[in-house]
Structure 1
Amino acid sequence: MKIELATEQDYQYIVERDRHIPESLVRTKIREKEIFIIKDSEKEIGWMRYGYFWDNIPFMNMIWIDEEYRGRGIGKEMVLYWEEIMRERGFELIMTSTQSNEEAQHFYRKIGYRDAGCLLLETQPLEVILTKNL
């Protein structure tokens, strides 16, 4: 397994799976080096996209692992890889979120994230905000 910055060659793979942002933003995120791609023998098997909360706190927006590769620790490896890069860049705090009806909240807590609040939108389940000190 290999984790690297996404490139234009990964664009189609990502947009076919990321239904949460407009396609045009995927290219921007690739150019800004805010998407990592996960490969197994040169085949894309997942990706992680991030941005910045308040323009200065790294915020993991989305992590995706193709279904047949889930449950193997790949997501954890991706998150820990990203955390190390953020630490090397001098960040001391990182964030992510997940909906309260998703299992991901338990995954994040197991690897050291702590509940930091929540957001309730009219048409969505409760969004749980999680932070981790690096």
Structure 2
Amino acid sequence: MDIKAATDSDYKYIVERDRHIAEALVKNKINEHEIFILWESNEEIGWMRFGYFWDNTPFMNMLWIDEEYRGQGHGKKVVLYWEELMRKKGFSSVMTSTQSDEEAQHFYRKLGYKDAGCLMQENAPLELIFTKNIV
């Protein structure tokens, strides 16, 4: 698997699949190198998108691996890649979240993420917040 920063040529792939971001923000995320595309045999198999919590802490907003490629270590590889990139940029910790009814919470804990709180939204499952020290 290869991990590459998204480019303008990935725009269509992203907006057709990532339903958790306003389409108007995608170009800016691409320009800021805040979306990575995962490739397997010259085919896009997923993406990872991040931003900054409180404008100062890297926050992984979205990690998606297509169903047929899950369970093969691709998610772990892209998360570790991102953490190393953030470490090189001088950050000492990163964050992410997932809903309490999603299996992803177990994935993040296996990667060393610690529960740091939660967010309650009306008519939605509890959003679990995770942090990880990367120094």
TM-score range, shorter chain: over 0.9
Which residue of structure 2 aligns with residue 37 of structure 1? 37
Q: Name the TM-score, length of structure 2 as normaliser.
A: 0.97
Q: Using the TM superposition, give the Cα deviation of residue 42 of structure 1 relative to its aligned residue in structure 2, in angstroms.
A: 2.0
Q: Secondary structure at the match of 1:16?
A: helix
Cα distance in 2 for partners of 1:20, 1:31 equals 18
**Which structure 1 segments of 5+ residues have no match?**
none
Between 124-133 and 65-74, the greater mean CA deviation after superposition:
65-74
Which residue of structure 1 aligns with residue 76 of structure 2? 76
Q: Secondary structure at the match of 2:17?
A: coil
Counterpart residue type for residue 28 of structure 1: N
Which residue of structure 1 aligns with residue 94 of structure 2? 94
**Which structure 2 segments of 5+ residues have no match?**
none
Between 102-111 and 39-48, the greater mean CA deviation after superposition:
39-48
Counterpart residue type for residue 93 of structure 1: S
Q: Secondary structure at the match of 2:18?
A: coil
Which residue of structure 1 aligns with residue 18 of structure 2? 18
Cα distance in 2 for partners of 1:89, 1:117 equals 26
Cα distance in 1 for partners of 2:16, 2:67 equals 14
Q: Name the TM-score, length of structure 1 as normaliser.
A: 0.98
Q: Does 1:85 align with 2:85?
A: yes
Which residue of structure 2 aligns with residue 133 of structure 1? 133
Cα distance in 2 for partners of 1:70, 1:13 equals 19
Q: Which runs of 4+ in 1 moved over 4 A?
A: none
Identity %, equivalent residues: 70
Counterpart residue type for residue 67 of structure 2: E
| Aligned CA-pair RMSD | 0.7
